[in-house]
């Protein structure tokens, strides 16, 4: 705001001429650069002669404005900022104390001075006690007393304004610091999360890696043991992958592994954990799954893979891209985590030996055979639409694999039981 003398006023414009630092109130004295005229004074009195006398006495040293009533003073306060209000107590209408009390909420930083002849007035004393009034001056006042009071009041106002500015600066810096800390904490958390994911992921397929699988598998075995729950494991190995790599090149082999990973993820349940065991081998952990359920799921996965239109699958033996799967369960096929893996691995080896594109369970029982047969029957239903021999021949040749003397045992079983049912 600009005063009638053209100066900038108000607490925001308090003339702090040196950078904010720890300064005592004494340093704010005139000798140290405080210009009292930068801090407007509003003098209120119902007697015009008093106002004139005040202006005459102090207009050179201070910026003085006048009001001849409480209402006029409030109006002036609305129009511009003042540092000091000095009011006569005894005025018609609104008393000085009433006026000063009205300014407390709207202009909390204003320095309030009362001029009174009634030093024992109760409301005046209570107002002073409540800290709302900075000083009271008794009538008749002397110019010296007013002058020194105004100077000290302005110094106090400037110091308060300066302190408020420091506090605001500190608050802002604190908020900025807090924001920075929050930002960096978030960035750190995100970086840690990325690192954690990297540490447990397989770089090529994005599946969990071998290390994570080993950890989880051990934990799952512990849980299964503690809660006496079934737990199964599938190990898959891509059939003739070397042939695919040799023919199509390693990069295309990589593409195939990624697609295989996606297919596996889509084929199993939410709760199952798919990981890349290494090379072209994958594992699926099946919590709460009996081995019969696991065998059925493995058969489903095998079938989905065999049916999936992988790019360039035609260059593979049999014209399809297939997997062999070994299944083992805890505690049926091994008493600890390592033993079950070995059992699944052996079953996988048997699946390979037995002709590939097939599921083998560790030490299969008759019930397992039946479950697998039913599952295969469902999935290969399109192969046994007809119930006569011709149809079966057609179905058999459609699934024929040159390297495995034609058909895997599940399919033959499935076809037979389909026949039996008829």
Residues of the shown chain interacting with ligand GH3 in the complex, contacts defined by CB under 6 A: 204, 237-243, 245, 250, 253-254, 257, 279-280, 352, 356
Q: C-beta of 361: minimal distance to ligand GH3 in Å?
A: 19
142: partner contacted, choices Mg ion, ligand GH3, none (Cβ within 5-8 A by kind): none
241: contact with Mg ion by CB under 5 A: yes
Q: Which residue is nearest to ligand GH3 (CB)?
A: 253
- What is the DSSP code string of 234-274? EEEEETTHHHHHHHH-HHHHHHHHHHHHHHHHHHS-TT-EE
CB-nearer residue toward Mg ion: 112 or 356: 356
> ω into residue 140 within 30 of 0, thus cis?
yes
Q: Is 58 in the site for Mg ion (CB under 5 A)?
A: no
Which CB sits closer to ligand GH3, 198 or 204? 204
Tell me which residue of 156, 144, 73, 51 sits closest to 111, measured CA to CA: 156
Tokens of 24: 């005592």
Residue 143, CA distances (Å) to 58, 67, 117 in order: 8, 19, 16
Calpha distance 416→410 (Å, rounded): 10
Whether a cis peptide bond, with omega within 30° of 0, leads into 331 is yes
Residue closer to ligand GH3 by CB (options 291, 356) is 356
280 catalytically annotated: yes
Cβ 258 to ligand GH3 shortest distance, Å = 10
Among the listed residues 155, 237, 299, 380, the single contact to Mg ion using CB under 5 A:
237
Nearest distance, CB of residue 257 and ligand GH3, angstroms: 6
Q: Which is nearer to Mg ion, 141 or 349 (CB)?
A: 349
Q: Which of 159, 105, 157 is nearest to 132 (CA)?
A: 105
Q: Which of 65, 155, 280, 360 is catalytic?
A: 280
User: With binding defined as CB under 5 A, does residue 136 bind Mg ion?
Assistant: no
CB of 322 to Mg ion, least distance (A): 10
CB of 89 closer than 8 Å to CB of 124: yes
Signed CA dihedral, 303, 307, 311, 315: sign only: positive
Cβ 243 vs Cβ 313: under 8 Å: no
Q: Which does 204 bind (CB under 5 to 8 A by kind): Mg ion, ligand GH3, none?
A: ligand GH3
Closest to Mg ion by CB, 324 vs 375, is 324
CA 323/CA 237 separation, integer angstroms: 5
The entry of Mg ion, ligand GH3, none near residue 250 (CB within 5 to 8 angstroms by kind) is ligand GH3
Distance in Å, CB of 240 to Mg ion, minimum: 7
Six token digits for residue 261:
């990973």
**The dihedral sign for the CA sequence 11, 16, 22, 23:** negative
Cβ proximity to ligand GH3, 126 vs 403, nearer residue: 403
106 binds, among ligand GH3, Mg ion, none (CB under 5 to 8 A by kind): none
Site map 261..300 versus Mg ion, x via CB under 5 A: -------------------xx-------------------
Burial 226-260 (b: 16+ CB within 10 A, else e): eeeebbbbbbbbbbbbeebbeebeeeebebbbebb
Q: Which does 242 bind (CB under 5 to 8 A by kind): Mg ion, ligand GH3, none?
A: ligand GH3
The contact set with Mg ion (CB under 5 A) reads 237-238, 241, 280-281
Residues recognised as catalytic: 280
């Amino acid at each position: 705001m600009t005063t009638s003398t053209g100066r900038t006023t108000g607490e925001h414009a308090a003339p702090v001429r040196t950078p904010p630092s720890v300064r005592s109130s004494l340093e704010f004295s005139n000798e140290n650069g405080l210009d009292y005229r930068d801090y407007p004074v509003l003098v209120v009195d119902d007697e015009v002669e008093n106002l004139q006398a005040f202006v005459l006495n102090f207009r050179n040293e201070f910026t003085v404005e006048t009001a001849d009533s409480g209402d006029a003073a409030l109006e002036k306060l609305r129009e511009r900022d003042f540092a000091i209000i000095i009011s006569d107590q005894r005025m018609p209408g609104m008393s000085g104390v009433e006026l000063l009390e009205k300014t407390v909420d709207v202009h909390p930083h204003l320095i309030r001075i009362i001029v009174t002849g009634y030093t024992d007035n109760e409301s005046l004393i209570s107002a002073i006690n409540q800290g709302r009034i900075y000083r009271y001056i008794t009538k008749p006042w002397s110019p010296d007393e007013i002058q020194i009071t105004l100077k000290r009041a302005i110094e106090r106002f400037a110091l308060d304004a300066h302190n408020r500015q420091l506090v605001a600066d500190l608050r802002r810096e604190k908020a900025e610091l807090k924001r920075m800390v929050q930002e960096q904490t978030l960035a750190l958390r995100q970086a840690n999360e990325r690192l954690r994911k990297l540490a447990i992921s397989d770089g090529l397929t994005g599946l969990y890696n071998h290390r994570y699988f080993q950890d989880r598998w051990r934990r799952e075995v512990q849980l299964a043991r503690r809660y006496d729950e079934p737990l199964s494991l599938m190990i898959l190995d891509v059939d003739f992958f070397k042939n695919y790599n040799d023919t199509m090149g390693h990069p295309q082999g990589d593409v195939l592994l990624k697609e295989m990973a996606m297919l596996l993820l889509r084929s199993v349940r939410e709760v199952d954990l798919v990981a890349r065991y290494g090379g072209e081998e994958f594992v699926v952990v099946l919590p709460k799954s009996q081995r019969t359920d696991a065998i059925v799921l493995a058969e489903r996965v095998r079938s989905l893979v065999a049916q999936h239109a992988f790019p360039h699958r035609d260059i593979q033996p049999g014209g399809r891209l297939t997997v062999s799967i070994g299944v083992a369960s805890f505690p049926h096929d091994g008493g600890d985590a390592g033993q079950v893996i070995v059992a699944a691995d052996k079953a996988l080896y048997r699946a390979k030996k037995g002709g590939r594109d097939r599921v083998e369970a560790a030490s299969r029982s008759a019930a397992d055979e039946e479950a697998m047969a039913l599952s295969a029957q469902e999935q290969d239903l399109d192969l046994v639409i007809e119930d006569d021999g011709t149809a079966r021949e057609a179905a058999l040749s459609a699934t024929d694999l040159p390297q495995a003397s034609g058909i895997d045992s599940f399919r033959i079983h499935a076809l037979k039981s389909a026949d039996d049912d008829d």
